[in-house]
Amino acid sequence: MRFSNAFLDEIRDRVPISDVIGKRVTWDRKKTNASRGDFWACCPFHGEKSPSFHCEDRKGRYHCFGCGVSGDHFRFLTDLDGMNFPEAVQQIADLAGVAMPQPDVEAEKRDRQRASLQDVMEMATQFFQDQLQTANGAKARAYLRDRGLTGRTIETFRLGYASESRNALKEHLATKGIAKEQIEACGLVVHGPDIPVSYDRFRDRIMFPILSSREKVIAFGGRAMSPDAPAKYLNSNETELFHKGSVLYNFARARKAMSGAGRDGNAAQNENGAGTIIAVEGYMDVIALHQVGIENAVAPLGTALTENQLELLWKLTQQPVLCFDGDGAGIRAANRAVDLALPHLKPGRSVRFALLPDGKDPDDIVRNEGRGPFDKVMASARSLSEMVWIREVQSGGFDTPEKRAELEATLKQVVAVIADENVRRHYGQDVRDRLNAFFQGSNRQQGFQRNFDRNQGRDGARNGPQGRGGPSAQRGTGGVSERLARSSLVSGSQSLPPLRESVLALTIVNHPQLLFEEYDEISAIEYDNRDLQRFWSSVLNAAAAKGPRLSREGLMEQLEAEGFGALLKGLDQQIRYTRLWTATIQAAPEDAREGYLQALSLHKRTKALLWQRHELENELAHATEEGDDESVSQILRTLQEVQLEVTRLENQEAIIDGFGVLSGRVKGPAGK
């Protein structure tokens, strides 16, 4: 039924939103200020360890700075508990002690009609399920069995079979007393003025029920059994219940999986460790992933991703992963998704891209190779900014000023479509940084190498602390110059990790006993670099297997066997070029420990500041939307202070100085 705005406002005003939400969460004591009606908790919509879910009684709103969900009393009940809107209104009215208004007869009639259509769709679903188990469904059962689906999976997704008969479903529904107008309204038959007798839309097809966000069947997808069928996949037409561009297959189940992300281990993890949503291309991909425990996958319905579908993804997570086949068609689809997402980016809201090996889809991978290879593809998902860059430079041929100018102009045009001013500005900076590294990186590296050779000598005899590269020179002319600090060798623009992450990783490899001195803290380090994430996982596995008996030689041997030899070499070169000897094998244990703790402190401080900035940017966006000028001014002041500190820490000279002067106990590479 319909409700007037005055009635909805009245019951909302009578019930503090914290009373509604407090029944489902535990408020954080440190951040919550109950006297001001300001509450914080861990988000009930996605798994997290620190509270980023904010609720304000004064505004009657909630917002999660982690996954982006927001709403009022009613939205909370409909999204979290799956209530329909009238049920949510009834519950809030009961809490407010206000009687429900008299029903609108016409509105109730429309609601009954819609519910009636859903009843018809449910009957059709059950009919298709029953048909799958008959003799007519034998070939469909064999096909599903050959695709590796278990009986439990088939039942979970309610898969069925539409027989070859032109009227099997229509006649079945007619015997149940369903009028032909309802059957037609559900899109279950083909009908029209030029068709004398309607007939079943789906024939000789495996049937995939498509559910609404409320887990009601609203449409079907049908996979043809005959290779001669004009369309391999056929979806329901648009109906009162179904609007294809606004629905994602498996959305309701994926949302439930998201609510347990980080706790039950079923949801895939993004690089920050938070549960995310994976968008794949087809029904079978979703089902195959579900069967191996990846329950948070969804799929568009046989077409390219739409804006409405992208908004659905962003309702669940700030950074969904879009998964595409690695062939030409998959790359083209990924590039279309890049163009779709760019205009709608906001602070903390983006997408990542996972490209599968050429010729394979998720179903192929997990069916033939298991879950592991697919998880690796997800772990190496690329950022949107990286996809933009790869797309524009893949043609190559930038050997003339004109070609380089053309590339720069193209990238500026791509960035210009971003509506959010802050995001657009940061993308512009990212483009400038990439262009500088792309066009000048090789020259800088060559210039550094000549300077390094001249200062250090080819034999490396003066590399130790008693030579020019030693601790006494670090803050003088022999130390790391600004030019070097910004070079690709140090900054990681040529696929090397950020310098501080390299120090943290390589110090442990060269001095593994440090890991066991503060195991809980050190093992919990979160690396931004994807290569180091995989590398660190292998280090921890080795530590778990060997314990304190783990030696540098044994660890190096295992890491090289697992394919990390090139990364280890790159890390070692990066550390030596910057003369951070505390991370090398030659450093005395006490110096290695001191340098490591300083690097770890800097790393944690930087991560904390970046997260604080991220939260403030989200708060600013929310306050701006709400028109709260006082909050906007306060947030801006705090954000400026945080940004100044971030800028200071991100300066490469500050990073290197932050590791401190090495003491005289350090041994140089030559052992002097």
pLDDT confidence of residue 146: 93
In sequence order, which residues have a C-beta less than 8 Å from that of residue 570 and are 6 or more positions away? 495, 496
Q: Give the chain's domain count.
A: 5
The reply to whether 293 and 324 lie within a common domain is yes
The reply to whether 59 and 116 lie within a common domain is no
Q: Is the pLDDT of residue 452 over 50?
A: no
Give the confidence band of 401 by pLDDT, cuts at 50, 70, 90. confident
Distance CA 496, CA 651 (A): 17
H helices of 457-563, in order, are: 482-485, 488-491, 499-510, 513-517, 519-523, 530-546, 552-561
In sequence order, which residues have a C-beta less than 8 Å from that of residue 355 and are 6 or more positions away? 323, 324, 325, 326, 330, 331, 334, 377, 382
In sequence order, which residues have a C-beta less than 8 Å from that of residue 309 and are 6 or more positions away? 245, 246, 247, 248, 279, 300
In contact, 300 and 263? CB cutoff 8 Å: no
The reply to whether 508 and 627 lie within a common domain is yes
The reply to whether 311 and 372 lie within a common domain is yes
How much of the chain, in percent, has pLDDT values that exceed 70?
83
Of the candidates 339, 333, 321, the residue with the CA atom closest to the CA atom of residue 276:
321
The reply to whether 563 and 640 lie within a common domain is yes
The reply to whether 310 and 192 lie within a common domain is no
Helix 5-14 and helix 85-96, axial crossing angle in degrees, nearest 10:
50
pLDDT confidence of residue 113: 65
The reply to whether 514 and 627 lie within a common domain is yes
Give the residue, 345 or 449, on which the prediction is more confident: 345
- In degrees, rounded to 5, the angle at the alpha carbon of residue 231 between the alpha carbons of residues 228 and 237 is 145
Q: Is the pTM of this model over 0.85?
A: no
Q: Is the pLDDT of residue 393 over 90?
A: no
- In degrees, rounded to 5, the angle at the alpha carbon of residue 110 between the alpha carbons of residues 106 and 111 is 115
The reply to whether 235 and 276 lie within a common domain is no
- Amino acid occupying residue 239: T
Distance CA 4, CA 13 (A): 14
Of the candidates 579, 608, 580, 575, the residue with the CA atom closest to the CA atom of residue 594:
580
Question: For residue range 537-583, what is the model confidence (pLDDT) as tens digits?
Answer: 888 888 877 777 888 998 998 898 888 888 898 888 888 877 778 88
The length of the chain, given as a count of residues: 672
Distance CA 217, CA 123 (A): 10
Question: For residue range 141-170, what is the model confidence (pLDDT) as tens digits?
Answer: 999 999 999 999 999 999 999 999 999 999
Let me know if residue 451 belongs to a domain.
no
pLDDT confidence of residue 449: 44
Distance CA 313, CA 248 (A): 9
| CATH at 193 | 3.90.980.10
Of the candidates 110, 354, 316, 332, the residue with the CA atom closest to the CA atom of residue 213:
316
DSSP string across 501-528: HHHHHHHHHH-THHHHHTHHHHHT---S
pLDDT confidence of residue 330: 84
Give the confidence band of 138 by pLDDT, cuts at 50, 70, 90. very high
The reply to whether 519 and 536 lie within a common domain is yes
In sequence order, which residues have a C-beta less than 8 Å from that of residue 155 and are 6 or more positions away? none
Distance CA 106, CA 192 (A): 28
The reply to whether 232 and 124 lie within a common domain is yes
Let me know if residue 672 belongs to a domain.
no
In sequence order, which residues have a C-beta less than 8 Å from that of residue 608 and are 6 or more positions away? none
Sign of the torsion formed by the C-alpha atoms of 252, 247, 21 and 36: positive
- Amino acid occupying residue 52: S
| CATH at 52 | 3.90.580.10
pLDDT confidence of residue 662: 35
Choose the final residue of a domain: 67, 96, 125. Answer: 96
Distance CA 225, CA 148 (A): 17
pLDDT confidence of residue 223: 95
Strand order in the sheet with 321-324: 297-298, 278-279, 321-324, 352-355, 382-383
The reply to whether 13 and 159 lie within a common domain is no
Q: Strand 195-200 relative to strand 205-211: parallel, antiparallel, unpaired?
A: unpaired
In contact, 257 and 296? CB cutoff 8 Å: yes
pLDDT confidence of residue 600: 83
Let me know if residue 453 belongs to a domain.
no
Question: For residue range 76-114, what is the model confidence (pLDDT) as tens digits?
Answer: 999 888 888 889 999 999 999 988 887 666 666 665 666
Distances in Å between the Cα of 214 and the Cα atoms of 94, 143, 241, 251, 423 are: 23, 30, 12, 10, 34
- Domain span at residue 374? 251-390
Give the confidence band of 9 by pLDDT, cuts at 50, 70, 90. confident
Choose the final residue of a domain: 242, 259, 278. Answer: 242
